[in-house]
Amino acid sequence: MAAPKGTALPEVAINSIPSQTIPAASYEPFVKASYQDFLGRQPTSAELSSSSSQLSSGIVSRADYLSSLSKSDQWLDAIVTKMYRDTLNREPDPAGLADWVAWLRSGRFTVAEVASRFYSSAEYYSTKAGDSTPSWVTLLYQQLLNRDPDAVGLPFWIANTSTYGRDWVALNFYQSEESRMRRVEAMYQALLFREPDAVGWPFWTARVLTTGDLQLAWEIANSDEYWTKAQSRFPPTITGISPATGPTTGGNLITIGGSNLSGTSKVTIGGIEATNLVVVSATGLTVTAPAHATGEVDVAVTTPGGTTTAVGRYTYLNPIKATAISVGSDHTCALTPSGTVTCWGHNELGQLGDGTTTSRRTARTVTGLTGVVSVSAGVVHTCAVTASGTVTCWGANSHGELGDGTTTSRSTPATVPGLSGVVAVSAGWEHTCALTASGTVACWGSNEWGQLGDGTTTNRTTPATVSGLTDVAQVSAGWVHTCATSASGIVSCWGSNDNGQLGDGTTTDRATPTVVSGVNGFVSVSAGDYHTCALKKTGTVACWGANEWGQLGDGTTTRQTAPVTVSGVTGVSSVSVGDVHTCALKETSTVTCWGANNLGLLGDGTDTARAAPVTVSGLADAVGIDAGDTETCAVTASATAECWGYYRPWGPVIVIGP
């Protein structure tokens, strides 16, 4: 061909023949890059998952996948649209676009043939060249070769236009070596982000003449260089870290959310590499936090796409010290060795006692409270006993459950008047009961079901003595019923009995204490929402009441109105009943639980309900436990508090404070 040629500029080498070697890395960056380059958009989650899965499993090869993208309507649409804009200075009309895309897809025309028709069209010749052949040839030089015509080429092509026609001339211009070199250069820039080198440029310039532009694109994208660069095109982002605080001892599970997290190789927290890295998806991963000193630290995630750092996004705090713990509905409180109380969780009615109604993810000290010997968290209120034998309460007070003579909620402790010599307190839903040193029990608050035990159903805003109890050793307030254990080992209950939770063999409500049927020799009792459990002197446990989730632990889900023995549990030192689950502390310092598990309440690493006891994972030094509505907590021999549930099914996590 007599037209002058361009010159190639030597540069860094690329694989001249595409490699089929696929690195053992995630396919997701490659899929994202190819979608962006060929379709002009990012894949949907479903597309990303499907394409990555098919590629990694070998269902489709990388070459076939790229070839399909190069023949997609989106890619062909982009090619045709660009031709309309470059040649006719307008957007394509719907009918014309559909026709050209269909012809390209079917193979009726190649890209070169389509291009020649656009450049030789009457519209281009008239509107761009003014119906002038010299002007038209000049435009071909400028648009396809990126230069003005030389003295030899211009008359040569004018003459050939007259002889062979515009379509033949346009096709020869488009398929000239100089034009092909320009197209190869553009493809390098678009897909590899660099200029072509001395080896690759002539190779691909020759190859595109036989393979065509569509295959040129996917073959370059099939190179190892494209694969490698795709890995770094999408650096990771961090959008969330949960929880954002943790103990200085480390060991807690952290979930990191973001984007482009596939292929994560390392996560550091405070400059220390985290362990147990599990990449769940491109948008989430989990790690176990390392130990670190207190303070705010950075979290960094490293992927093939680079490293991103979330500055000051995680805070290390000291674990709280606890000698006892009590779990309510959505809040929990712990007694510290110094006689203060710390609470955390929901606080909409001041149940944390810190003077606010702000919910807390970490423990906060209850305002102005010292010398405490025991604490009890109810549904939305809390009470504590001081060393002087008085009771103080805070939180919700709609039914007088704070016992201060009002129905005003309190965000700081208020003393219950008229009580002295109190040794224990138990907070229920909207009522509270206190045990005195003389073995009597006084209750206050809601009494709709007779849960105050005074023979009436009248609410009380101050303490009222429970009828007929004189030698009580322990008391427990549930949802709308109450139970007490006598010094002689008898359990009595009163209040609501719709599920047999009073254990007297009936479902009749009682406004005064009724003895639990057929069993004695009890050490303690725990009243939940609609079921009750008691510890026997033999170290076994008996339960009664509702059982739809297996919370009675007898291997069934059948309601019981009288005590049944929990299956396979011996050597128990204490038992605690939650909403729809139960837990027991064993003499071996391990904990076993049963019942509902949708929030991970049983701590066995699953969310499967159990009708028989299962051991809590990773807890071997417990000295105290308490089961609530949404979580369960234990105090350990080292005076730390560990809790599970509330969507933490993997097991106990250490409670931290300021």
287 vs 231, more confident: 287
Overall average pLDDT of the 313-333 stretch: 94
Residues 6+ apart with CB under 8 A from 143: 86, 87, 119
What is the rounded CA–CA span in Å between residue 105 and residue 83?
16
Find all residues with CB under 8 Å of 353, minimum gap 6, and list them. Answer: 333, 341, 343, 366, 367, 369, 382, 394, 395, 411, 412, 413
- Residue 114 CA to chain centroid, in angstroms? 50
CB 506 within 8 A of CB 538: no
Over the stretch 246-295, which tens digit does the pLDDT of each residue have? 899 998 889 999 988 888 999 999 999 999 999 988 889 999 999 999 99
> How far is residue 658's CA from residue 656's CA, in Å, rounded to a whole number?
7
**Residue 405 gets which letter from DSSP?**
S
- Collapsed DSSP state (helix, strand, coil) of residue 98: helix
pLDDT higher than 60, residue 11: no
pLDDT for 305:
84
Structural contact between residues 547 and 560, judged by C-beta atoms closer than 8 angstroms: yes
Distance CA 525, CA 474 (A): 7
The reported pLDDT for the residue numbered 25 is: 47
**Range 148-158 average pLDDT:** 94
pLDDT at position 244: 87
- Mean pLDDT of all residues in 394-417: 98
Closest CA to 494 of 458, 461, 450, 460: 450
pLDDT at 14 over 70: no
Given a cut of 70, whether residue 2 has pLDDT beyond it is: no
Q: Which tens digits make up the pLDDT trace of 565-599?
A: 999 999 999 999 999 999 999 999 999 999 999 88
Task: Report which of residues 349 and 54 the model is more confident about.
Answer: 349
**Higher pLDDT, residue 646 or 516:** 516
3-class SS letters over 227-261: HHHHHHHCCCEEEEEECCEEECCCCCEEEEEEECC
Average pLDDT of the chain, as a whole number? 92
Query: Which residue type does 531 have?
Result: H
Domains delineated in the chain: 28-231 (1.10.3130.20), 235-317 (2.60.40.10)
Lowest mean pLDDT among 22-36, 261-275, 466-480, 539-553: 22-36
Averaged pLDDT for residues 230-234: 86
pLDDT band for position 232 (cuts 50, 70, 90): confident
Q: What percent of the chain has pLDDT over 90?
A: 80
- If one counts every other C-beta atom within 10 angstroms of the C-beta of residue 486, the result is 19
Provide the pLDDT for residue 594: 98
Q: What is the pLDDT of residue 13?
A: 33
Burial string for 443-474 (b: 16+ CB within 10 Å, else e) reads bbbbbbbbbbbbeeeebbbbbbebeebeebbb
pLDDT value of position 4:
26
The pLDDT of residue 282 is 82
Give the Å distances, CA to CA, from 240 to 50, 97, 264.
26, 44, 16
**Does residue 635 carry a pLDDT above 50?**
yes
Task: Find out whether 329 and 380 touch, Cβ atoms under 8 Å.
Answer: yes
Segment 357-383, tens digit of pLDDT = 999 988 999 999 999 999 999 999 999
Cα–Cα nearest to 319, from 353, 339, 344, 299: 344
618 band by pLDDT with thresholds 50, 70 and 90 = confident
Which residues make beta-bridge pairs with 296? 315
Give the integer Cα–Cα distance in Å for 5 and 181.
10
CA nearest to 534, candidates 553, 510, 548: 553
The span from the CA of 440 to the CA of 454, in Å, is 12
Residue 327 · residue 631 · CB < 8 Å: yes
At residue 301 the predicted structure's pLDDT band, cuts being 50, 70 and 90, is very high
Burial-class residue 270 by CB neighbours within 10 Å (0-12, 13-18, 19+): buried
CA 319 to each of CA 249, 314, 619: distance values in angstroms, whole numbers, following the listed order: 8, 15, 16
- Mean pLDDT, residues 108-128 taken together: 94
Q: At a CB cut-off of 8 Å and minimum separation 6, what does 78 contact?
A: 40
Whether residue 42 is predicted with pLDDT greater than 50 in this model: the reply is: yes
Beta bridge partners of 384: 375, 392
* Sheet architecture: strand order including 391-395: 372-377, 381-386, 391-395, 410-415
Phi and psi angles of residue 350, each rounded to the nearest 5 degrees, phi first: 85, 15
Tokens coding 483: 């139970």
What integer pLDDT is reported at residue 29 of this predicted model?
A: 87
pLDDT value of position 309: 93
Q: What per-residue confidence (pLDDT) applies to 18?
A: 36
What is the pLDDT confidence band of residue 12, given thresholds at 50, 70 and 90? very low
What confidence tens digit (pLDDT) does each residue in 165-193 have?
A: 999 999 999 999 999 999 999 999 999 99
Rounded percentage of the chain residues whose pLDDT exceeds 70:
95
Given this model, what pLDDT does residue 1 score?
A: 23
Sign of torsion, CA 212 215 217 223? negative
Q: Is the pLDDT of residue 26 over 80?
A: no
In this structure, the number of other CB atoms found within 10 A of the CB of residue 620 comes to: 12
